[in-house]
Amino acid sequence: MSEVLTRPVSEQVASSAHISASKYDEMYRQSVEQPQAFWTEQANSFLQWDKPFTQVVEEDLNRGHCAWFADGQLNVTVNCIDRHLPQRANQTAIIWEGDDPADSETITYQQLSDEVNRLANALRERGIKKGDRVCIYMPMIPQAAYAMLACARVGAVHSVVFGGFSPDALNNRILDSDCTLVITADEGVRGGRTIPLKQNVDKALATCPNVHSVLVVKRTGGDIGWHADRDIWYHELVDKQSTECAPESMGAEDPLFILYTSGSTGKPKGVLHTTGGYLLMAAMSFKYTFDYKEGDIFWCTADVGWVTGHSYIVYGPLANGAVTLMFEGVPTYPDASRCWQVIDKHQVNTFYTAPTAIRALMGMGDHHVTNSDRSSLKLLGSVGEPINPEAWEWYYSVVGDGRCPIVDTWWQTETGAHMITPLPGAHNLKPGCATKPFFGVQPVLLDEKGEEIEGAGEGALAMKASWPSMIRSVYGDHQRMVDTYFSTFKGYYFTGDGARRDADGDYWITGRIDDVLNVSGHRLGTAEIESAIVLHPATAEAAVVGYPHDIKGQGIYCYVMLKEGFEPSEELRKELIAMCNTEIGPIAKPDVIQWAPGLPKTRSGKIMRRILRKIACNELDNLGDTSTLADPSVVDTLIEHRANK
């Protein structure tokens, strides 16, 4: 292990921060030793309840069960909008920065209230009521946030599907959660190019008979198909609605949203989050991790199609009455200085992005950064994948001019909010280190036997108690949630990640230890990509593994076995890549395809991915035991024909 260059917590930050080192210790201790008292206080100070709760938590991790604040009632939009209106009606809620640098807009809390209520009334007019599922397939425009909030207003459960997913992926997700209404736009705009969202919806809906309404935002005015019995222009329906809409009072454990994410097996899972616990953790982590102060301008570059966008573009900031910046474009358009120009233009104080973006921008030269002022910046954040120390150092010294703490936030779709992260006023910063558990979070490292490792060490990262924003179910398949997260280690939530704890008790995430890839911060199951490839009539079998990739973090390496009578060709390679694009989306396109005459299998027929991973990573002198293979010579052939990367 090379020497770690620790940045001690800055005196200046510590003296003004919400949470100092001693405050963290005191609050953390209380959060795990007296959870009832701790969470009662937090839930009452962060949220406004229609009906107060009397029960705090009830849990049994052996069966993956938890319920938080179960007899309390609240509405998320009352918390994110209405309660702020007396003080903040004219304060900006959302700054929207368009793909074209000439396009931007601010939306006040009053405007947000009017827009959300109108859309909520429109949803009710189309028959949407509490518990119904609504699919949101949108570009990064304010209407995406209105759509999420309007669902929450009427108690409908939203399922946001990332606009980069293909029609097939959208179709699967709409069917899986039985959505009856879809909100979309004619086209999206990113990096100067248009994305045919409505056309994708039309394709996806060919086999979704239960979708009765499609609301279409006019973003570009481009040509689109129209189904008069189903499609409605968003503005035509919404403009005529009242700006008053009674919020649905929801039980704390009523569902708020479903968000699909990839796992190691099968199709993506609809992770279900509920109302009270989720909102509390989103709000609390936003305030403490980012040391949010009144008036701060916060920019999270994620897409609302991912959990980061849910918790830190929409729910966390708005629950705190903050100003949240929503960006339609990409960091490299019109050029690689875009992020820093946006920071100067809107005087952004906190910037939260993914290591893959940092690495890509780092490779394009410092001058893109140093040409900008960035003096408004106070804090930087990282999320989505492990950040390598080199990228951390560049982010810290070049982007942050050595003055802004970096919070490296580890969490997951399933956890709803930050789980392990430094707090800027409390913790020394170590490049690449996720550092300390958030309040109430109780991580453990487990060894192969499932025993807890004490002190410094490395193992499987698991949680020994529930937290308010823990996954509640996999939509439509509760048993799958129990099997995926609560069965590997009995009585624990298993994250799928490995981690190391150092002598200071700080956590370093080492990456996934299951068959999940993290490509540019996006989670993809190897099984999903394999299923797409074997749909091609020429393929007999496929095995997908990750390998280190300079920009993406991990690249996708596919071993493909062809059926008798088919020959490898450049054309076939392109067809297989196109297959992944069609079935899943551009993020799933393989970087490397290696033609394999055979795959290394055990005698019981299990593919030995460990070996395939080593070959893909070029770790050839360390292949481990190959004696259990049915045919060890397969490995030599694969090594000999390793694809050039």
Q: Which residues are annotated as a binding site for ATP?
A: 384-386, 408-413, 497, 512, 523
| One of 99, 115, 328, 408 touching ligand 6R9 (CB under 6 A) | 408
Tell me if 261 contacts ligand 6R9 by CB under 6 A. yes
Instruction: Write out the binding residues for ligand 6R9, residues 571-610 only, by CB under 6 A.
Output: none
Binding-site positions for CoA read 190-193, 308, 520
DSSP string, 426-449: T--B-TT--BSBPTT--EEEE-TT
Nearest approach, Cβ of residue 420 and ligand 6R9 (Å): 8
Kindly tell me which of 42 and 554 has the beta carbon lying closer to ligand 6R9. Answer: 554
Closest CA to 183 of 215, 156, 141: 215
* CB neighbourhood size of 101 (10 A): 14
Closest CA to 280 of 251, 256, 245, 316: 316
Kindly tell me which of 381 and 600 has the beta carbon lying closer to ligand 6R9. Answer: 381
* CB neighbourhood size of 127 (10 A): 11
* Greatest CA separation for the chain: 74
Closest CA to 438 of 8, 37, 38, 6: 38
DSSP string, 235-283: HHHHTTS-S--PPPPEETTSEEEEEEE--SSSSPEEEEEESHHHHHHHH
Residue 458 DSSP symbol: E
| One of 53, 260, 411, 559 touching ligand 6R9 (CB under 6 A) | 411
Q: How many amino acids of this chain bind ligand 6R9 (CB under 6 A)?
A: 23
Kindly tell me which of 208 and 513 has the beta carbon lying closer to ligand 6R9. Answer: 513
Instruction: Write out the binding residues for ligand 6R9, residues 207-226 only, by CB under 6 A.
Output: none
Nearest approach, Cβ of residue 495 and ligand 6R9 (Å): 6
Nearest approach, Cβ of residue 69 and ligand 6R9 (Å): 23
| One of 385, 506, 515, 530 touching ligand 6R9 (CB under 6 A) | 385
Dihedral (Cα; 275, 465, 38, 78), 10-degree rounding = -10
Cβ atoms 19, 426 nearer than 8 A:
yes
Kindly tell me which of 144 and 635 has the beta carbon lying closer to ligand 6R9. Answer: 144
Instruction: Write out the binding residues for ligand 6R9, residues 303-362 only, by CB under 6 A.
Output: 306-308
Residue 251 CA to chain centroid, in angstroms? 25
| One of 121, 289, 353, 413 touching ligand 6R9 (CB under 6 A) | 413
Nearest approach, Cβ of residue 405 and ligand 6R9 (Å): 15
Which neighbouring-strand residues pair with 193?
Answer: 190
- Pairing type for strands 592-595 and 553-562 reads parallel
Three-state secondary-structure class, residue 399:
helix
Kindly tell me which of 10 and 388 has the beta carbon lying closer to ligand 6R9. Answer: 388
Tell me if 497 contacts ligand 6R9 by CB under 6 A. yes
* CB neighbourhood size of 229 (10 A): 6
Tell me if 386 contacts ligand 6R9 by CB under 6 A. yes
Tell me if 392 contacts ligand 6R9 by CB under 6 A. no
- Pairing type for strands 323-327 and 92-97 reads parallel
Nearest approach, Cβ of residue 496 and ligand 6R9 (Å): 6
Cβ atoms 232, 125 nearer than 8 A:
no
Q: Which stretch binds ligand 6R9 (CB under 6 A): 62-70, 227-235, 489-497, 558-566?
A: 489-497
Q: Which stretch binds ligand 6R9 (CB under 6 A): 187-195, 196-204, 381-389, 633-641?
A: 381-389
Mark out the alpha helices in 450-535 (DSSP H runs).
478-485, 526-534
Nearest approach, Cβ of residue 385 and ligand 6R9 (Å): 5
Mark out the alpha helices in 425-569 (DSSP H runs).
478-485, 526-534
Tell me if 438 contacts ligand 6R9 by CB under 6 A. no
Both ends of the chain: CA-CA distance in Å? Answer: 27
Nearest approach, Cβ of residue 512 and ligand 6R9 (Å): 5
Nearest approach, Cβ of residue 410 and ligand 6R9 (Å): 4
Tell me if 484 contacts ligand 6R9 by CB under 6 A. no
Nearest approach, Cβ of residue 283 and ligand 6R9 (Å): 17
Nearest approach, Cβ of residue 198 and ligand 6R9 (Å): 26
| One of 468, 496, 553, 555 touching ligand 6R9 (CB under 6 A) | 496
Cα distance between residue 330 and residue 447, in whole Å: 41
Tell me if 509 contacts ligand 6R9 by CB under 6 A. yes
Kindly tell me which of 231 and 497 has the beta carbon lying closer to ligand 6R9. Answer: 497
Binding-site positions read 190-193, 308, 384-386, 408-413, 497, 512, 520, 523, 534, 536
Q: What tokens were used for 633?
A: 């010579």
Cα distance between residue 7 and residue 79, in whole Å: 37
Nearest approach, Cβ of residue 206 and ligand 6R9 (Å): 29
Tell me if 410 contacts ligand 6R9 by CB under 6 A. yes
CB nearest ligand 6R9: which residue? 413
Residue 365 DSSP symbol: -
- What does each C-alpha distance from 198 to 110, 145, 188, 216 come to in angstroms? 30, 18, 9, 8
Kindly tell me which of 261 and 337 has the beta carbon lying closer to ligand 6R9. Answer: 261
Nearest approach, Cβ of residue 521 and ligand 6R9 (Å): 6
Break the chain down into helix, strand, coil percent, rounded to 5.
35, 25, 40
Tell me if 523 contacts ligand 6R9 by CB under 6 A. yes
Q: Which stretch binds ligand 6R9 (CB under 6 A): 14-22, 68-76, 94-102, 490-498?
A: 490-498
Three-state secondary-structure class, residue 381:
strand
| One of 356, 466, 518, 594 touching ligand 6R9 (CB under 6 A) | 518
Q: Which residues bind ligand 6R9 (CB under 6 A)?
A: 261, 306-308, 382-386, 408-413, 434, 495-497, 509, 512, 518, 523
